[in-house]
Amino acid sequence: MSSPALSPPPAAPADTVPGPLTRSTLLALCACVLVAQSMVAAINLLIPQLAASSLHPSATELLWTVDAYVIVFAGLLIPAGALGDRRGRKGVLLVGLALFAAGATLSALAASPALLIAGRGVSGAGAACIMPATMSILVQLAGPERRARALASWTLAVGLGGLAGNVGGGAAGQFLTWRALFWVMVPLAALLALTVAVAVPRTERSPHGRPDPRGTLLLVAALVALLAGIIEGPTYGWTSPRILAFFAVGVALAGLFTRYALRSQAALFDPRVFRSRHLRAAVLGTATGFFGLFSLFYANSQYLQYVKGYGPAVTGLAIVPLTIGMALFPKVAARWQAASGPRPAVATGLFLIGAGLLGASTAAATTPYALYACWLLVISAGTGLCMPALTVGVVSALPAHQAGLGSGLGTSAREMGAALGVAVTGTVLAVHEADARAGSFADAMSPALRTVGAVVLVATVLVTFGYRTGSGETAAAR
């Protein structure tokens, strides 16, 4: 079978090739990424206020208020990326911003937990359209010579989105209301849509394939089931019938999708793209980096509030050191990658994330914030080194006309890694907080971060091995 995913794109007519990437286009796209990513983190700092609100949500409803956005977001990323390739990336981006605003409006007006959860899900669907569309537009406009720098800016916007979510959620939790956070998103999304309409050109659509509703349904259902199992594992227990059922259904549906896609002439994507050792390594590396990063996010806010006694607003600001390396090191990584290939930057970056987590695991109630911030800087430097190279690795493994699909794969790896990081950290925290010997949250945080740091370091070895060059083969060629 001739695979659309592995076929080179035909040359586009000269009059349809978009112009070069401009600064205004880059800023508009990165702003969209920042806003979409910010809502992953912001809600976590509003949980105490939501729990005491007039909605009176149960513990399960609070869990789904947080998780609905992530589950829908991650579940729809790959189909949304493929849809943008086929139907127009700019159009999908504008639809995503509209859905994001509609979900924020529904959340702000919610009179019950169910409506709040529904609003979060609608916003998550909007974010799923925004993320791959922005990356694929950048890939199309930047060209091979500027692609690494453009994707480094995109990766920085993802990191700044985490910061903005922490700062915005903390400020709303301390000085405003949870509804105010959602209301702010509505005019912001409208302004971004206007900016995109003016500053972002349309790019060439993929001539390959047709809509694949059957494959889309199978893949989305598989991802949602797996994510639900990962996210709810700490709550219900990893061996509970509910969680085992989620995983069993997810694996079965993933198997059905693979079988269907291998036989279909117009599948959502061809699973044989994973024959590429470098693609597998890039996907694993991306998931590993965000596994460590979101483990830290989850433990950090609780450590700073419960142990150090910081308020929500100060807690949001205290994460700022994590953005410094993300801003400074991508340029270093780009030069390093150009000279030596992606392997050194990826290996060093992931190693620094793991080492930084092990360092942060030593934090106690008496640890000065300045010392704790040093470990945040180590993790930040690692993220800034490895993430641009990993992002390029995923996107460049597919033809340029499938940049949206490549972005969806990479961002799905990010979200799966992030969800797993939070789940593993939450599980280890729960075990050690229940231990009578655990005198404070810091006593439970230490083994949690040590566990995650060790996993990151083991995965670093696997990723580095995946980036090895074969006989007569260069890293650049792959």
SS3 call for 55: coil
**297 in Cβ contact with 408 (< 8 Å):** no
Q: What is the DSSP letter of 397?
A: T
- Mapping DSSP onto H, E and C, the string for the chain reads CCCHHHCCCCCCCHHHCCCCCCHHHHHHHHHHHHHHHHHHHHHHHHHHHHHCCCCCCCHHHHHHHHHHHHHHHHHHHHHHHHHHHHHCHHHHHHHHHHHHHHHHHHHHHCCCHHHHHHHHHHHHHHHHHHHHHHHHHHHHHHHHHHHHHHHHHHHHHHHHHHHHHHHHHHHHHHHCCHHHHHHHHHHHHHHHHHHHHHHCCCCCCCCCCCCCHHHHHHHHHHHHHHHHHHHHHHHHCCCCHHHHHHHHHHHHHHHHHHHHHHHCCCCCCCHHHHHCHHHHHHHHHHHHHHHHHHHHHHHHHHHHHHHCCCCHHHHHHCCCHHHHHHHHHHHHHHHHHHHHCHHHHHHHHHHHHHHHHHHHCCCCCCCCHHHHHHHHHHHHHHHHHHHHHHHHHHHHCCCHHHHHHHHHHHHHHHHHHHHHHHHHHHHHHHHHHCCCCCCCHHHHHHHHHHHHHHHHHHHHHHHHHHCCCCCCCCCCCC
Which CA distances in Å does 330 have to 16, 119, 262, 324, 387? 32, 35, 37, 11, 8
Instruction: Please report the pLDDT score of residue 400 as a whole number.
Output: 64
Structure tokens at 69: 């956005």
**193 in Cβ contact with 94 (< 8 Å):** yes
pLDDT by 10s per residue, the chain, length 478: 333 333 444 444 333 444 577 888 999 999 999 999 888 878 877 777 887 788 888 767 877 787 788 888 887 888 888 788 777 888 999 999 999 999 999 999 998 999 999 999 999 999 999 988 898 888 888 776 777 777 778 878 887 887 788 778 877 777 788 888 899 999 999 999 999 999 888 877 666 555 677 878 888 888 888 888 887 777 788 888 988 999 999 999 988 988 888 887 777 777 787 787 888 888 899 999 989 988 888 888 778 878 888 877 787 788 788 878 877 787 777 778 777 778 888 999 999 999 999 999 998 888 899 999 999 999 989 988 888 888 877 777 666 666 667 777 787 888 888 888 888 888 888 776 655 344 577 888 888 899 999 999 999 999 998 887 643 343 433 4
What is the four-CA torsion angle of 79, 398, 413, 245, rounded to 10 degrees?
60
pTM reported for the whole predicted model: 0.77
Q: What is the DSSP letter of 264?
A: -
Instruction: Please report the pLDDT score of residue 471 as a whole number.
Output: 36
Element holding 441 (H helix, E strand): helix 441-466
Instruction: Please report the pLDDT score of residue 404 as a whole number.
Output: 67
Instruction: Please report the pLDDT score of residue 378 as a whole number.
Output: 93
Total residue length of the chain: 478
